[in-house]
Amino acid sequence: MNTDSPSTVAVILAAGKGTRMKSAIAKPVFPFCGKPLATYSMRAVRQAGIERVVLVVGHQAEEVEKVIGTQAEYALQAVQDGTGGALKCVEPLLAGFTGTVFVTCVDAPMISEETIADMLRVHRENGNAATLLSIVLDDPIYYGRVIRNAATGNVECIVEAKDATPEQLAVQEINVATYCFEAPLVFQMLQQINNDNAQGELYLTDVIELLNKHGHQVGAVIATNEDEVAGINDRVQLAKSEAYYRRLINERHMLNGVSMIDPASTFIDEDVVIGQDTIIHPFTSIAVGTTIGMNCVIGPASQLIGATIENNVEVISSRIEFSILREGARVGPCARLRKGCEIGPGAEVGNYSELKNTRVGAGSKVHHVGYLGDTTLGEGVNIGAGTITCNYDGKHKHPTSIGDHAFIGSGSLIVAPITIGEHALTGAGSVVTKDIPAGKVAFGVPAKVVRDRERD
């Protein structure tokens, strides 16, 4: 969408402490469907065609800027004196700017590009000095009420619930803290507001009444989707908003050809990529940074974090962390791949096996209650049940290398650093402390080479 972006600047208010979240994490970087909360409103305004974005920061400003980086410009609100004070802090950045200032809050992440574009269209077509976004609620509770002129329908003022009369509290149209203003006019009005109110703050909403007093027109766009404009002030509201947004994510994937057995119990983060004809089973969570190919089967009860899954892969009731599964690989049930693993084409990792920083070659099998750490397996290797590569000596991690078509007997302990050659074999229960040459058989405690391996 194009909104003539050079004449529009987006300002996202993100300086508050978010005390009702009861968290040491600043609200702008609080996780929401796998990404910092602030990134959602920033993306929406850019999708609506607004290229310049200013983030007003205050509480934990350095941490917020560290996480968000160059995605926005920053204005510092050193004193938490209300939303009016927040927008005042942007004025130095917009010196000489003439155009529309779109303002929203960081805790309203679900506002859509369509709604933003609609607001800007109405604002410009009607020649408004300000246009706000509102919604009509059955129970407006503590939200600011939108008071309209009975004759024209234009907005006269916004009255915060704590300052409202009983008659004003009966109004069901409420302000959702998203606006279009014209600059430099809005900054002229901000110089005239004061903190003579119940909270002792500078209300941005007071600008609406001031604009009316100076003969300027103020309009409103009424939203129809309560979930889209919902704010997040505590973790109850966070959970409700995430549930709504995850439903949208799931629907998007399903419309793109992904099957979900039970979407309500499937939890997918934003920006996850899933190919056509993949099936996601219940109680599966897929975190940001994960890419899944076509014709895969994932779940039930699987967890994928930063995983790369190629086509025709099966992950059954397992956890995959920052690892790669190549074409046709199979993992699970109840396996765990820790960071740095690569499972080759057609390879299998089975029940209750744990791998860390391990490469499994094409067609190799790692089944049944084992641990491989810092290990490289060649192609066609068989790892027997209960095998462990002992990679840690108390101070350092050491590698294990096992060649193509080797056979590791059940219950083998491989004390790294070790190299086991191609087609080598270890007997069940062996403790391998020395390298085994290619094609040899070793067994015992400690394992000793006894003969050549007989092969078909």
**Residue 233 Cα distances to 113, 121, 240, angstroms:** 22, 29, 11
Choosing from 59, 216, 367, 368, the catalytic residue is: 368
Which positions ≥6 away from 91 have C-beta within 8 Å?
187, 190
Active-site residue 368, yes or no?
Answer: yes
Which positions ≥6 away from 235 have C-beta within 8 Å?
21, 22
Angle, to 10 degrees, between the axis of helix 38-47 and the axis of helix 61-68?
A: 50
Long-range contacts of 258-262 (CB under 8 A, 24+ apart): 261/299, 261/300
Going by C-alpha positions, the residue among 421, 344, 358, 364 that lies closest to residue 388 is 358
Going by C-alpha positions, the residue among 53, 44, 62 that lies closest to residue 108 is 44
**Residue 351 Cα distances to 63, 185, 326, 381, 383, angstroms:** 41, 67, 19, 17, 12
Query: What is the layout of strands, in order, in the sheet containing 400-402?
Result: 273-274, 291-292, 308-309, 324-325, 342-343, 359-360, 375-377, 400-402, 418-420
Mind telling me the catalytic residues? 368
